[in-house]
Amino acid sequence: MKKHRKFFFWAICGALLAGALGAGGVRADSTMPPFALQSIRDGKTIASDSFSGKVLLLTFFATWCPPCVQEVPVLKQLQAEYGDAGFSVIGLSVDQQGPPVVATFVEKNQINYPVLMAEAKTIEDFGGVYGIPVAFLVNKSGQVVKKYTGYVQHTVLEKDIVSLLK
């Protein structure tokens, strides 16, 4: 548990410092950074270009993070409602305990969207992840249009997703 407290302490410090310094990273109207990451389900590599033409909600999370766990039902519902309309949630796990722990979490929670293991480069490419959950909404053209920090209400996410699916 002490390990998690240290992470949160440094995550909060990093977020405050980044905000104070006007940190760069992925912003609205920037192109989504490309990635090729290991899938939790089968261990195969999934590349970002396999989602071309879709609206995406990429969410960085960890299995031990209470707000991350809280948002799983919302993400599952959004995937179920809009998956056939050209939308996908993509979970990007930052768990350092590895794929087996994440795979157990995915199975236990019956997650219906792709879950990938984020690498340090992926985190860096998205401007650094200083706290979780953090999510990026990407339009059909591959442009990041919004960044969400912390738990976000279903109605907010749904409104933003539907506006991009039109």
Query: In this predicted model, what pLDDT tens digit does every residue of 36-48 receive, in sequence order?
Result: 999 999 999 999 9
How confident is the model at residue 129, as a pLDDT? Answer: 84
pTM, two decimal places: 0.82
Of 58, 66, 59, residue with least CA distance to 8: 66
Quick: pLDDT tens for 3-30.
Answer: 444 444 344 434 433 333 334 455 555 8
Quick: pLDDT tens for 66-99.
Answer: 999 999 999 999 999 999 999 999 999 999 999 9
Pick the CATH number of 25-165 from 3.40.30.10, 1.10.10.60, 3.80.10.10, 3.30.390.50: 3.40.30.10
124: left (phi over 0), alpha (psi -120 to 50) or beta: alpha
| Residues β-bridged to residue 146 | 137
Whether residue 114 is predicted with pLDDT greater than 50 in this model: the reply is: yes
